[in-house]
Structure 1
């Protein structure tokens, strides 16, 4: 697939969860016979009721101690993992979308929710440097999916990719919610706190694919409150989406290879790197080109690095190291 989706949504490799997989401290999921369902859309043919793996719910909360359940469950159906926090505004936008889609796919996926504040081992294992972070586990193998709150249509596309990858690995089952078990549709979920007006306007614009308006709304929020870190992070995310819209990986990489000292070409492929989770590659590329440029080009490279720092998170050791190197180059 040559077109880059306007999100960091590629299936970008395995995460090492061996320290959690081998814990062996959690009980296995509810016993049931093997699942075997033909792949298809959300309304596709289901396995017979007697063949379906029975689970308490299609949306489950998991912890460092109970993640073994997810590993076992992923041998039957792909599990989508939502790493979130109570204080995270974008998480409150994305989580309801994921929960709704988990119901819509009617047992072909299960959504596992991880509170990053309460589960540091899983947070580290999934390399969740900023949140929301969404991953999948297929046949016990974790895959990074995307970072940030995306429109529902794009989230659906990612889930379709996950289902295709799962089917290619022989994971094409379906689970059934146990009779009488509380499911996400039946549970009374508290209403999320409303977003500040400009944040909500930005999110609505992103849903419509109108990144220009979203950028303007986040900039207004920052002008009104320069300490609004959520707006700063949101601006960095939507700016990346806007720049990648309509681009192709082949074009960006070819341009960068043909002009290794051209800052515009390197900025373009650095966006591609950061969107795919290749943080150190993106930092290194721009830090290498920084000493070779001057004036407006130098400022553009510096500004892009600062934007990436917001995306990845100030406390990330890769950001700390990159900031230190940038300061050395500046002074």
Structure 2
């Protein structure tokens, strides 16, 4: 089960020094004064995750021993401070070694060494305001995320989806979506306000692949909604995931899935996700639409239309064009949408 760690890391001068020393730059863990302090198992773990001998690191004191024991390689870390998520990382090697930690950071005056050490298999600085998290279901306005917090299950998935953070695990699910609709744990469908998104995109590479904090979709959503003053918009938190846009107005209701690219993979993702949301969407649902930054190929638009789904795309800054499937096609598919 993927976990998400909310890790305070920039709120005071000591934390900012740690950031500068072991997140802004990689550390040579094979330097003799560090290497000799590691056990053979810890050395193997580090070299497996970082064959080059350098890595970024963070740590936690004894206060967080129990939390650290449930974490594993691949879990996502959101590094927070001063009302922003300031970095996104993915855990690499995790181990407990106070002596090694003391070569990276000065011990905490109250709780001693930052002995629960973890390397970052990937890391990228971002600037995501807390307000974006507060608007997600299950999170509270004004929560400043004091203290290390571990999110699991629905909450972990929700924050990754809500902030458009994509991991290797999520990409595997998307591959499944190309061949069918992925089912998730059922929970109640609720309506939530659409949050603002401010950072375009960040990509960072690691030895075993790529992790993306995808902000382009958020910017596309904001730009599109600025053209729809005639409607109210929300987001739906459903058992199939968190939708991008749910519109209601004089012309009825519409469910919209935004994508940052027009490649066939993205078109198929939009199609699969929209179909997966249908059983959980409020009734009546009048139309479904895939939103793109530019016009997809004709055959890909035809694929959407075949399932009664419209296609909206950006043609100029602040200008969008919509291609609706034939009325008969959509009405025929609507019967199948709600057949379940």
Sort the TM-score into its range (normalised by shorter chain): under 0.3
TM-score where L is the length of structure 2 = 0.24
TM normalised by structure 1 equals 0.25
Question: Relative contact order (C-alpha < 8 Å, sep 6+): which is higher?
Answer: 1
* Structure showing the higher strand proportion among its residues: 2
Structure ranking higher in helix proportion = 1
Larger radius of gyration: 2
